């Protein structure tokens, strides 16, 4: 359990292996209430969260897996992120290192093992075994600003979860099947799907329990200005 914001930031990670232990609804509601304290442009609070557990989660998972296995990926509703071949440097290299660290180093899946990689990726659609699955959407009316607001809400939820001894994983992969999500969750027409979120207790005995990603040093992304240029 994280007792400070600093501790929550340092221990937050994208957890891809969960125990089946249930998370009480009252606890999920408390975490969402905390996340709702996140800043938003002019306090618009454009987010909406669909929470799935039990039979509802199993039904959505089954439909997502069926759509995945049948290759029914849908075109993006908006330009959320680059396609696989569209990433530019330095982001392409960082993405490649992430993939190598996850698949090869942590899971022992070699680059040429397409079936192995696909099998792990497929676990996204069961929320990596987490007992709680969420789908975050925002209004498309103030879309660009709403996406920033959604990121703030998402970070607030992740840190609140760490404060409760829980882990999360944000899942952009679910937007590939937004028609399935819309059918199950009755997403309003003026909303777009931002991501899925897995929530639960980490399975620390899983081989991914020790997997951690690296971060760039402050010197790589921060410029300090303390004097006026000549």
Instruction: Please count the CA atoms within 13 angstroms of the CA of 118 that sit on its side-chain side.
Output: 8
Where are the chain's structural domains? 5-82+124-221
Is pLDDT of 17 > 80? yes
- Cis peptide bond N-terminal to 52, omega within 30: no
19-49 pLDDT, tens digit per residue, is 999 999 999 999 999 999 999 999 999 999 9
Comparing 92 with 63, the larger pLDDT belongs to 63
DSSP letters of 15-76? ---B------HHHHHHHHHHHTTS--GGG---EEEEEE-HHHHHHHHHHHHHHHHTT-----
E strands, the chain, are: 47-52, 132-139, 167-171, 191-200
For residue 79, the model assigns a pLDDT of 63
For residue 75, the model assigns a pLDDT of 83
Is pLDDT of 203 > 90? yes
What SS3 class is residue 169?
strand
Compute the C-alpha angle 19/23/27, nearest 5°: 145
pTM of the model: 0.92
127-148 pLDDT, tens digit per residue, is 999 999 999 999 988 878 899 9
Comparing 223 with 107, the larger pLDDT belongs to 223
Q: Is domain 5-82+124-221 annotated with CATH 3.40.109.10?
A: yes
* Region of residue 41 (left: phi > 0; alpha: psi -120 to 50; beta: else): beta
Read off the tokens for 159: 């840190």
Q: What is the C-alpha to C-alpha distance for residues 65 and 130, in angstroms, rounded to an integer?
A: 15
- Cis peptide bond N-terminal to 175, omega within 30: no
Which residue bears the tokens 């075109």?
Answer: 75
Q: What is the C-alpha to C-alpha distance for residues 163 and 151, in angstroms, rounded to an integer?
A: 18
């Amino acid at each position: 359990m994280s007792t400070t914001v600093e501790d929550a930031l340092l221990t937050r990670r994208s957890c891809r292996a969960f125990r089946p232990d249930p998370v009480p609804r009252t606890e999920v509601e408390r975490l969402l209430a905390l996340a709702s304290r996140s800043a938003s442009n002019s306090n618009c609070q454009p987010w909406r969260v669909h929470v799935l557990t039990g039979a509802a989660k199993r039904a959505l998972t089954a439909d997502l897996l069926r759509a995945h296995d049948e290759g029914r990926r849908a075109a993006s509703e908006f330009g959320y992120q680059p396609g696989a071949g569209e990433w530019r440097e330095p982001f392409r290299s960082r993405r490649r290192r992430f993939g190598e660290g996850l698949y090869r180093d942590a899971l022992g899946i070699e680059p040429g093992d397409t079936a192995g990689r696909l099998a792990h990726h497929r676990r996204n659609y069961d929320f990596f075994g987490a007992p709680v699955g969420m789908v975050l959407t925002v209004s498309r009316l103030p879309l660009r600003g709403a996406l920033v607001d959604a990121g703030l809400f998402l970070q607030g939820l992740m840190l609140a979860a760490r404060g409760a001894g829980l882990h999360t994983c944000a899942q952009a992969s679910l937007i590939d099947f937004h028609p399935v999500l819309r059918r199950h969750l009755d997403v309003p027409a003026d909303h777009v799907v931002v991501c899925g979120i897995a929530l639960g207790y980490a399975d620390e005995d899983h081989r991914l329990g020790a997997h951690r990603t690296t971060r760039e040093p402050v010197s790589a992304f921060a410029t300090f200005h303390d004097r006026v240029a000549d």
